[in-house]
């Protein structure tokens, strides 16, 4: 663009100089001859008009060429191709304009990729949900057909009704889990982590699971420092801790304690949720946090749809932390949440 500026300045300078010299020559001639003829004045006017018309044409040609480059640059970006028609090394107005357009293109391209990713994830979620609800719907249809048999004993009818109710409950859990997952993925950008004590959310999650734990004869034990602070979103992190406690009660042995341990590392705050039940095999570790995945032991548990650990991991990851699971000396299982100690 500096070259274009120089060209235009040179054209204007040469045009102005030519006009000034011609005017000076006309003035000298007029003074020498005491007067100027009308023919000479007319010729001089035509000469000046030609000079400025020629200068305008050249300047207009240069401006149109530059604007064509701008138009090509924008059109290429619309077509999905980031091009640079102007040098970015020079401090020029068009160079700055091009950089701003490129930044805008990159922002829009990133947004498009993010929206495409979210669309695929949501499509996958819906496909998974449809696949998962197909089994209970098929069971309900099949057992409803059994109920229509007139010669079916009353005792078997009661058993079938119980099975149908269990399948309906499962559909309810699917709907609840799907709603939470969709709401979480929709509000990912709205997570508002801040540095605050972790004890309140731990106690709140324990209160939520206490009734189920009492019915299962499990005592929830809290250990560790209670003045620990971490960087997290209160609402969603409480949901993650509750999911881990809920799983600990469901998959723990009846009458065994559920332990919650809090500890502090240099960069992270750690929360362990421990239950004493059938240990998870190492082969299952990579699958534990997959959406709708239920372990081998889950086949013996009536409730659950395999979304609790998936939700917990997504919540913690979005806040810069991580979560892992493992067995406890072949006596039970431990799930550990690592939350950032501070904002980094």
What's residue 321's pLDDT? 93
What's residue 340's pLDDT? 94
The predicted model gives 134-159 an average pLDDT of 78
Asked if residue 170 and residue 154 are part of one domain, the reply reads: yes
Residue finishing a domain among 41, 65, 85: 85
What's residue 208's pLDDT? 87
What's the rounded Cα separation, in Å, for the pair 8 and 330? 83
What is residue 315's three-state secondary structure?
helix
Residues 56, 66 contacting (CB under 8 angstroms)? no
Give me the percent of the chain exceeding a pLDDT of 70: 67
Asked if residue 279 and residue 233 are part of one domain, the reply reads: yes
pLDDT greater than 60 at residue 38: no
CA distances to 6, 14, 20, 38, 191 from 23, rounded to whole Å, are 25, 14, 5, 15, 74
Could you tell me the sign of the dihedral formed by the alpha carbons of 307, 308, 309, 311, in that order? positive
Asked if residue 180 and residue 250 are part of one domain, the reply reads: no
Structure tokens given for 296: 């081998």
102 in a structural domain: no
Asked if residue 232 and residue 172 are part of one domain, the reply reads: no
Asked if residue 240 and residue 332 are part of one domain, the reply reads: yes
109 in a structural domain: no
What's the rounded Cα separation, in Å, for the pair 248 and 46? 97
Asked if residue 221 and residue 171 are part of one domain, the reply reads: no
Question: What is the residue range of 326's domain?
Answer: 192-340
Asked if residue 315 and residue 286 are part of one domain, the reply reads: yes
Residue that the structure tokens 């409730």 belong to: 303
Highest mean pLDDT among 19-28, 88-97, 139-148, 258-267: 258-267
202 in a structural domain: yes
Asked if residue 275 and residue 253 are part of one domain, the reply reads: yes
What's residue 1's pLDDT? 45
Asked if residue 36 and residue 131 are part of one domain, the reply reads: no
Most distant CA atoms of the chain, gap in Å: 135
Bigger pLDDT: 84 vs 245? 245
End-to-end CA distance of the chain: 42
Residue finishing a domain among 142, 160, 188: 188
* DSSP 8-state symbol, 226: S
Distance from chain centroid for Cα 336 = 24
Bigger pLDDT: 300 vs 167? 167
Bigger pLDDT: 344 vs 129? 344
Q: What is the pLDDT of the chain when averaged over all its residues?
A: 77
- Give me the number of domains the chain comprises: 3
Q: In CATH, what number is assigned to the domain containing residue 134?
A: 1.10.287
What's the rounded Cα separation, in Å, for the pair 76 and 228? 54
Nearest to 314 by CA among 325, 323, 305: 323
Asked if residue 329 and residue 236 are part of one domain, the reply reads: yes
179 in a structural domain: yes
Residues 94, 86 contacting (CB under 8 angstroms)? yes
231 in a structural domain: yes
Give me the percent of the chain exceeding a pLDDT of 90: 18
Q: Name the band, by pLDDT with cuts 50, 70 and 90, for residue 62.
A: confident
What is residue 245's three-state secondary structure?
helix
308 in a structural domain: yes
What's residue 273's pLDDT? 94
The predicted model gives 318-335 an average pLDDT of 87
Asked if residue 179 and residue 198 are part of one domain, the reply reads: no
What's residue 277's pLDDT? 83
Structure tokens given for 61: 């040609």
Asked if residue 209 and residue 155 are part of one domain, the reply reads: no
Q: In CATH, what number is assigned to the domain containing residue 205?
A: 3.30.565.10
């Amino acid at each position: 663009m500096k070259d274009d500026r120089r060209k235009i300045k040179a054209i204007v300078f040469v045009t102005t100089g030519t006009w000034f010299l011609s005017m000076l020559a006309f003035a000298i001639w007029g003074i020498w001859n005491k007067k100027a003829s009308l023919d000479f004045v007319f010729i001089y006017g035509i000469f000046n008009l030609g000079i400025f018309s020629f200068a305008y044409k050249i300047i207009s040609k240069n401006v149109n060429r530059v604007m064509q480059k701008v138009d090509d640059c924008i059109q290429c970006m619309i077509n999905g191709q980031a091009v640079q028609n102007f040098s970015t090394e020079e401090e020029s107005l068009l160079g700055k304009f091009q950089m701003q357009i490129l930044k805008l293109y990159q922002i829009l391209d990133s947004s498009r990729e993010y929206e495409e990713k979210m669309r695929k994830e949501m499509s996958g979620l819906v496909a998974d949900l449809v696949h998962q609800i197909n089994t209970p719907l098929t069971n309900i249809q099949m057992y409803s057909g059994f109920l229509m048999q007139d010669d079916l004993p009353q005792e078997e009818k009661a058993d079938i009704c119980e099975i149908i109710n269990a399948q309906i409950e499962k559909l309810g859990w699917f709907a609840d889990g799907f709603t939470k997952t969709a709401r979480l993925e929709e509000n990912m950008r709205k997570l508002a982590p801040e540095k605050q004590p972790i004890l309140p959310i731990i106690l709140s999650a324990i209160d939520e699971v206490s009734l189920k734990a009492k019915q299962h004869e499990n005592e929830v034990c809290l250990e560790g420092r209670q003045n620990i602070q971490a960087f997290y979103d209160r609402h969603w992190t409480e949901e993650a801790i509750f999911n881990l406690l809920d799983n600990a009660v469901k998959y723990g042995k009846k009458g065994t304690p559920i332990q919650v341990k809090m500890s502090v590392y240099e960069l992270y705050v750690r929360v362990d949720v421990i239950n004493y039940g059938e240990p998870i095999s190492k082969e299952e570790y990579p699958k534990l946090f997959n959406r709708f995945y239920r372990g081998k032991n889950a086949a013996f548990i009536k409730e659950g749809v395999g979304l609790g650990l998936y939700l917990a991991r997504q919540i913690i990851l979005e806040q810069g932390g991580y979560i892992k699971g493992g067995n406890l000396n072949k006596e039970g299982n431990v799930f550990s949440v690592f939350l950032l100690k501070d904002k980094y």
